[in-house]
Chain A
Amino acid sequence: MTFEFSFNRTAAMVRRYWYLLMSSWPRLLDLIYWPTVQMLMWGFLQMYVSQNSGYFANAAGVFIGAVLLWDILFRGQLGFSMSFLEEMWARNLGNLMMSPLRPAEFIVAMMIMSIIRLSIGMIPVTFLAIAFFGFNVWSMGLALVAFFINLILTSWSIGIFVAGLLLRNGLGAESMAWTIMFLFLPLTCVYYPVAVLPGWLQYVAWSLPPTYVFEGMRALLIDHVFRADLMLQAFAFNIVLFGAAVFAFLRLLKSAREQGSLLQGAD
């Protein structure tokens, strides 16, 4: 089997999603609406709590930081899955599957789009966080880069897996695209330390790459220490998760060809 990758075909797909995004202002608004609402809600909650608790007064920004990083994870996956869902809603999957576009090119195009969507949604919100709460996520510097890489890798892995489910099961699996990441919300300890979880659940939490990122963020904001060891562990888990997601996607695509799901599109 030979592996061939065309940047030209990948660029064609990115162009297709870009046209779609630019053709619809509600789609653009949607990218920024929820991150803004979330950031404001958690920001004000943090203000209130910090006025009544010495611990949180010292840990300024831990909630806002958590919500911004959570949005990278959640919106990254959603941005990936939305691109895929757009093809299913448009009944365009057959056209693409019949074209010379390779699965790897399709996946890379959706990864690029997830970063573009995330940038449109998140960058303005980070500036709003500065304006409203004086919390500057950019001041994390290189740590933010490490957090971002690990979170976006996880979001892509989940997005790839969901795309496989959609290929195999049609739009009947659409709800997975919207809800699957919420399973990570309690388990990856976005808003509280891993130590809060019961002992057995901590093993589950530590098997998920984002847990290391959120622990790392708290170490940075509360103890002012950058835990490179946590980032490396997260990266190692991410490599395994990404490989597993690609494997699952290819198996589900094979199964979709066997079951004729690519023709149907919907369930």
Chain B
Amino acid sequence: MPANLSARLCSLALSLFLIVFALPAFAGPFEDAVSKFANDDFSDTEEAIGAVASSGNPLAYPIISALQDGRLMADPDSKKVYVTSADGKSIDAATGQPVASVPDSASAVRLNNRLRRSVDAAVGGLTLMSPDLGMRLQAAQSVFKSHEETALDAVEGALAKETNRSVKATLGDARAAILLYKPDATEVQKLEAVATIKARGDQEALALLTGIGSDQPASVTKAAASAIGSIQSSLAVWSMVQNAWYGLSLGSVLLLAAIGLAITFGVMGVINMAHGEMVMIGAYTTFVVQEVIRTRYPGLFDYSLLIAVPLAFLVAGALGVVIERSIIRFLYGRPLETLLATWGLSLVLQQAVRTMFGPTNREVGNPSWMSGAFELGQITITYNRLWILCFTLAVFAILLAMLRYTALGLEMRAVTQNRRMAASMGIATSRVDALTFGLGSGIAGIAGVALSQIDNVSPNLGQSYIIDSFMVVVFGGVGNLWGTLVGAFTLGIANKFLEPVAGAVLGKIAILVLIILFIQKRPRGLFALKGRAVEA
């Protein structure tokens, strides 16, 4: 049809005109590449990423970054691709023209891990010159990670213009990584690269140096080998520090779980097998608090744990008082029966929670200040573990202060030391018993709030901590809070130093055997109570 033909000629002329002005709008290589995103085929998507990233088109960055965040929509029918943004505006990816709406048949372009790596590398290459400092740093890091040869010019260009020190250092590392893996780089360049990477001294540097292969000049291989040796020996020292940190962190979890038991079992002498369930109830309280916050006040989510702590204390504490009043007080002095009764109680509580909340795990989210990690030297410290350690120590200090400086604390100590004497001094011992048990249970509830951040929130949560808690209290010395503290950290650190050597299973067994042997030697634990309480 002549009309059609003339239209085509016209568009051809127009597109030629536009290409001259470097503004491709009609069917050109760029548009072809973009339309490949609509094929829903991973290898096509990969080609498209490469073509778009190297096109130099101003739309390249919006497209690739949209792909990274799942905002790139493709319509398989019309082969049209759209860039959407959070504020609801969308543009046609091929032309950059705004579109009123994205058709319903369009879906987000899918990625797999291999493509995610290509996307990261592409974004890195495109944002090396970004005015935003954080973005530049991230870009330099992702180029360092991918160290693709094609990025060399961009890195060198950026390096010449960069003024920020840390970005510049990372760019230097990225350049070294690229050169190290570039087959036609000179020996001098490679030796320099090895030295630069050696200076990083971290695991990524080690990975780069180990992976260079054997087809390198002899001097490079030798330099790399010596660099690997020195990095490894410095990392070995760091790994000791790391083990110590992990041990502290595990110890804090053990202490948190055991601290309530140190009150009910240690101070009161009640073998409370339902202790773990108090922890579980604290965790479920956190879940309920978060659910309410999610549906009603989403802005408060970061404070959910702070709100959950007092609530969990009250819920678990109140339940503890009820348990003491209704069951335990009839069983004082009969440890075997207490054990069986509280064990039965723990099953009842578990099944009750299972009926109310269902048998599956419940999701308790991490607030933003408890997610992620930071690097300290060559070790990674995760925020949730760090906060739990601080939290545990705070709870311990508060509890200690309470026992020492409050009237209730004084009464508790009096009752445990000599019940009859305390009673004749006018202390309502049964009220003190109920409150002490409530305090222990409430602290277990608080532990549940923290443990919900690192463990399953399921009806079985408590069971996994009950054995460990008894172990800590018995090892540390019954009736002594400081013993519980030292016991928990000793077990935690010992466990973490054994684990890399013996494996997790054998490590746990070894700890158990050591405790048994220790108890043979010192039946009253690390810090034995002396005085009348022992005979009571």
Q: Do A and B come from one complex?
A: no
